[in-house]
Structure 1
C-alpha cells in the first residue's frame, strides 16, 4: 500500500469517527458552526487541488520521486472532492429555494 493510499485510509477513518455520533440518536452531539464546517471543507478541497497541481508540475519537470500513479490518484481525489463540494452546494441552494418558496 503506498503512502497516499494510507493517508486516504486514515482520512476516511477520521471522517467515519466524526460521523459515529450522528448514527446514535440518543447521544449528545456537540453543535458545530455550519459556516466554519463549510469553510473547512472548501479549504480542504482547495488544498487537494494545490497538492495535485504541485505533483503534476513536479512530474512534468521530470522529478523521479513522483510517479504517474501518484499524480493520477491525487488528480482523482481532488476531482472527487470538488464534485462532492459542488453537489453539497447544489443541495444547499435547492434547500434555500425551497424554504424561500414556502408560504408564510
Structure 2
C-alpha cells in the first residue's frame, strides 16, 4: 500500500512540475486551505477549462481498444481455422496474447479503481 501511495504522489509531483506548479508537501496547507484552493477550478463544461479527454472518455477508449484486440484475435483464429493463407499460426498466437494481456491489464485497472473507491469510502471524516 505504501509503495502505491508513493507512486501516486510521485506522479502527482511530476504532473505539477509539468504544469509549472511547485509541488507541495502534505504539511504545507491546512485542510480548509486545500479545499479553498480548489474553488478557482472550473467545471469541465465551462469556458476556459483545460481541453482534453475526460476520465470516462479515456476509459471508454481503452476498453474499446481491448475489445478491438479481442475481435482481431478472434477473426485471425477463425481465418486460421478456415485455412486462410494470410493467417499463419504465429500471427494468431501473437494477436491472442496481445488481447489476453490487454484484458488482464483492464481487469487490474478495474480492481485498483474498486480498491481506491473502497479506500475513499472507508476514510473517516
Larger relative contact order (Cα-Cα within 8 Å, sequence gap ≥ 6)? 1
* Per-residue Cα deviation, 1:47-95 (whole angstroms, up to 9, x for no partner): 0000000000000000011100000000000000000000000000000
Query: Corresponding residue for 1:51?
Result: 72
Q: Scaled by the length of structure 1, what TM-score is found?
A: 0.73
* Per-residue Cα deviation, 1:25-46 (whole angstroms, up to 9, x for no partner): 5223965311110000000000
Q: 1:23, 1:103 → 2: CA distance?
A: 28
Query: Corresponding residue for 1:103?
Result: 124
Query: Corresponding residue for 1:71?
Result: 92
Q: Which runs of 5+ in 2 are unaligned?
A: 1-12, 20-49
Which structure is higher in helix share? Answer: 1
Query: Corresponding residue for 1:27?
Result: 18
Larger radius of gyration: 2
Q: 2:92, 2:54 → 1: CA distance?
A: 34
Q: How many residues are aligned here?
A: 83
RMSD: 2.0
Q: Scaled by the length of structure 2, what TM-score is found?
A: 0.61
SS of 1:51's equivalent in the other structure is helix
